[in-house]
Amino acid sequence: MIPTAKDQLIRDILVLENSITRPKDDREICFTFHQVIAKLLSNDGFTTILNPSPDRSNFDFMCFKENSRDRICISLQNSTESIAEERVHERVAFAFHYPYDRLIMFAPVGFTASCYRFVNITDPVKVELLTLNDLKSWTSKIEIESDFSINDYENIIKIVSKTFIEKIIEDSDFLLKIEWRDLEKMIAEIFEGLAFDVKLTPPSKDVGKDLILEINKRGITKKYLVEIKHWK
Residue 125 phi, psi (nearest 5): -80, 130
User: Mean pLDDT for each consecutive 10-residue tract of the chain (232 residues)?
Assistant: 68 87 77 92 90 71 88 90 93 86 92 91 85 88 54 64 73 75 80 80 67 79 81 57
What pLDDT does residue 189 have?
79
Q: Give the chain's count of helices (H) and strands (E).
A: 8, 8
Q: Kind and range of the H or E element at 159?
A: helix 150-170
Q: How many beta carbons lie within 10 A of that of residue 74, not counting itself?
A: 26
Q: What is the pTM of this model?
A: 0.60
Thinking of the domain 5-139, which architecture would CATH place it in? Answer: 3-Layer(aba) Sandwich (3.40)
What's residue 70's pLDDT?
A: 87
Which residue intervals of the chain bear CATH 3.40.1350.10? Answer: 5-139
Dihedrals phi, psi of 152, to nearest 5 degrees? -60, -45
pLDDT at residue 188 in the model: 82
Q: What's phi and psi for 154, nearest 5 deg? A: -65, -40
Q: What is the pLDDT of residue 1?
A: 35
